[in-house]
Amino acid sequence: MKTRPTEPLTDESVSDSEQFLFGGRLRYDYGFTSHEQTMLKIDFLTVARQIPGLLRTALRLAWQADRTALVVIAVAEIGRALAAAFGLLATSRALASLFASGGADQLLRAALPAALAVGGASALSALLGIASSWAGGRLEPKTERAATVAFLQGAARVELASLEDPDFSRLLESARFGTAAVRRLISQSIAVLTALLGLAAAGGVLLTLDPVLMPMLILIAAPKGWGAVRSARRRYGSMMAWLQHHRASALLAQLITQPHSAPEVRVHAIGPFILGHYTAMAEASEQEQNRLARAAATTSVLASALSGLAAAATFAVLGWFVHDGQMALAVAGTAVVGIRTGAADITSLVRTANGLYEEALFVADLERLQREAGRRAIPTGGTDLPHRPDTITLEGVGFTYPGRTTPALTDITLEIPRGKVVALVGDNGSGKSTLVKVLCGLYLPDNGRILWDGTDTAGADRDQLFSSVAVLEQDFQRWPFTLRANVLVGRPEHGDDPALLKGAADYADLHPVVEAQDRGWDTLAARGFQGGVQLSGGQWQRVGAARTHVRALTNGPGGRPTHLVIADEPTSALDAQSEIAAFARIRELADQGLTVILITHRLGATADADLIHVLHEGRLSESGTHSELMADPDGGYRAAYLLQAGQFAAEVPGVGSTVKWAVPAQNGQLSGQFQGSAGNDSGQ
């Protein structure tokens, strides 16, 4: 009863909406990984063979979550099966008494004890069923919680580059379903166990009546099993293939309702635009749903017809046995009851085993994610890093993002001295943010080394590296928490420390922002929640600066102090006065012994930096102090500085309107070369 390995999706074309909005088809090919291939080739017998293994998985998860509940379920289900077998035998006895010869009163009296036994067995079965449901209700949420925590722990620890790997993020998406599937795996396992034990009871009784009844029972149920497995396999394949498409549709729906996009949705009339594309994408997935429904109906009709034929044949054989005198009427009556009970058990077994298998596909994804996350996890341990190195040296560092061919960084060699403000400048996309991500250990360089006073960070304890860094990213996280939590998450292990909070607010000039809110520090900085507010870009930047201050001035585990403070465009949203004050405070951090890396396009601020590194197309093009760089008449930095200065001066002779940072000479010597019409005037 093999099913075809894979079935093609009906819609292989790319809808206009997918092409326009997402640049192509958002559906995976069936053969995207060997794992799904294996799952999609599964047939009925394979599922049956896997049941013991799946039950073992469920048992292990349940045992870890709540042993008492598991024992209650096992005892209750075995008790129910015994009660069912006993009830069936009592039915046989009652029928035999009724079909004996004698007066009606006498026959009924003779059948009464057996009839009472049937009633007692079913009452006991009901009570045991309630106990089993109670224990299941207690067990399932615990199992789901354990699985969710394991999933989140795994996801939180993987290397950043893994999160950008499309295969891994797809696995992450499908494993997300695995956490709820674990819960259902437990309930399906209980149901499978119930059906199995019930079937064993009915089968045992049928075997004692006549061995030929057993194969008949199997013949009735087998087609339904085949149909259920086939439909489940189809559903799973479709779900996997359409995962990204569904996510993208959900994203479109969200864009219409979320406050962030609301202004453009209204003023630019984006609403109808998105709605149109949403409808087009929803229609595409509707077609897929229709295809699934049609295929499931066809399979079900075929399975039911075959099963019906088998049932008709079975009852005909029974009739023939009775007619031929090979079987007593009472035995045939019990056989009919037994076959009906057994067939119901088999149908339920097939349905639940199939459900179990379906859930197991997602649980398998979850388990695979945990293995992959372990493999891709940021390693723990490693060589010790110095607390406050005198110099951080980059030697020939290169890095290419996963899936990209052009390197984001090429052969970067530079030094970052301790206690200084070091500015990183360059055009958009020149590699500044990437460089700091490599510096703080979020990405590992593909080539070259990063040395902290001679210790290579490649083999260093990454937790020590993270703990030594305070990062204020360009698009830093605006946590949907209170203002207090948003600042103190700079060093979460320090808890709620009022002095720390005040120091950070003083530093970032955050008090006016907090005082303007009705609930002060307890204000929820997330619009859309009750009492939540929306902060302006500049207000958020102060929150970010306060958070960085908390991290910069506190020690991490083992008393490790922060060494590097990385500020990526920290003042882009501040007003002029606040910006000047913010740069002055950044300087204070360096004066306290911290090493500050400042990324900014405001070259006025870099004039005060102790050292400036200029990047162009992922390479270092110039290095030096502001005066040194301004002294190079052909330097790109000088040209850019003059261009910016020219925006404020009425006229800066000789400065053109386009600036390109130059590429360094290949012999390793830095050669600034301004491409444009920068002149030779001084602008220092």
Ligand X SMILES: Nc1ncnc2c1ncn2[C@@H]1O[C@H](COP(=O)(O)OP(=O)(O)OP(=O)(O)O)[C@@H](O)[C@H]1O
* Token pair belonging to 593: 């012994």
Q: How far apart are CA 172 and CA 35, in angstroms?
A: 14
Q: What own/partner pairs with CB < 8 Å and gap ≥ 24 does 265-271 have?
A: none
Exposure of 680 by Cβ count < 10 A (0-12 exposed, 13-18 middle, 19+ buried)? exposed
Closest CB 443 distance from ligand X, rounded Å: 9
Residue 71 and residue 109 in contact, taking contact as beta carbons nearer than 8 Å = no
Closest CB 404 distance from ligand X, rounded Å: 5
Q: Is residue 237 classed as helix, strand or coil in its secondary structure?
A: helix
For 480, residues 6+ apart whose C-beta sits below 8 A from its C-beta are: 524, 525, 526, 529, 532
Closest CB 425 distance from ligand X, rounded Å: 9
Closest CB 603 distance from ligand X, rounded Å: 13
Closest CB 159 distance from ligand X, rounded Å: 13
Neighbours of 311 (CB within 10 A): 18
CA 384 to the chain's CA centroid: 32
Q: Residue 281 or 597: which CB sits closer to ligand X?
A: 597
Q: Residue 57 or 434: which CB sits closer to ligand X?
A: 434
Q: Residue 488 or 620: which CB sits closer to ligand X?
A: 620
Q: Residue 263 or 429: which CB sits closer to ligand X?
A: 429
DSSP 10-67: S--SPPHHHHHHHSS-----GGG-HHHHHHHT--HHHHHHHHHHHHHHHHHHHHHH-H
Report which residue type is found at 244.
Q
Closest CA to 512 of 562, 581, 463: 581
DSSP 124-187: HHHHHHHHHHHHHHHHHHHHHHHHHHHHHHHHHHB-HHHHT-HHHHHHHHHHHHHHHHHHHHHH
Q: How far apart are CA 108 and CA 624, in angstroms?
A: 108
Closest CB 372 distance from ligand X, rounded Å: 20
For 329, residues 6+ apart whose C-beta sits below 8 A from its C-beta are: 99, 322
Q: Residue 335 or 422: which CB sits closer to ligand X?
A: 422
Closest CA to 423 of 661, 634, 636, 587: 587
Closest CB 261 distance from ligand X, rounded Å: 22
Q: Residue 47 or 659: which CB sits closer to ligand X?
A: 659
List contacts with ligand X (CB under 6 A).
164, 401, 404, 408, 426, 428-434, 474
Q: How far apart are CA 610 and CA 598, in angstroms?
A: 11
Q: Residue 91 or 434: which CB sits closer to ligand X?
A: 434
Closest CB 629 distance from ligand X, rounded Å: 18
**Eight-class DSSP state of 453:** T
Q: Residue 76 or 564: which CB sits closer to ligand X?
A: 564
Residue 547 and residue 504 in contact, taking contact as beta carbons nearer than 8 Å = yes
b/e per residue 53-81 (b: at least 16 CB within 10 A): ebbebbeebbeebbeebbebbbebbebbb
Closest CA to 174 of 361, 382, 344: 361
H or E element, residue 393? strand 391-399
Q: Residue 64 or 658: which CB sits closer to ligand X?
A: 658
Q: Residue 428 or 669: which CB sits closer to ligand X?
A: 428
Q: Residue 401 or 466: which CB sits closer to ligand X?
A: 401
Closest CB 427 distance from ligand X, rounded Å: 7
Closest CB 403 distance from ligand X, rounded Å: 7
Q: Residue 95 or 442: which CB sits closer to ligand X?
A: 442
Closest CB 474 distance from ligand X, rounded Å: 6
Q: Residue 431 or 445: which CB sits closer to ligand X?
A: 431
Q: How far apart are CA 574 and CA 156, in angstroms?
A: 32
Closest CB 442 distance from ligand X, rounded Å: 10
Closest CB 441 distance from ligand X, rounded Å: 16
For 538, residues 6+ apart whose C-beta sits below 8 A from its C-beta are: 573, 574, 575, 578
Neighbours of 466 (CB within 10 A): 15
Residue 496 and residue 521 in contact, taking contact as beta carbons nearer than 8 Å = no
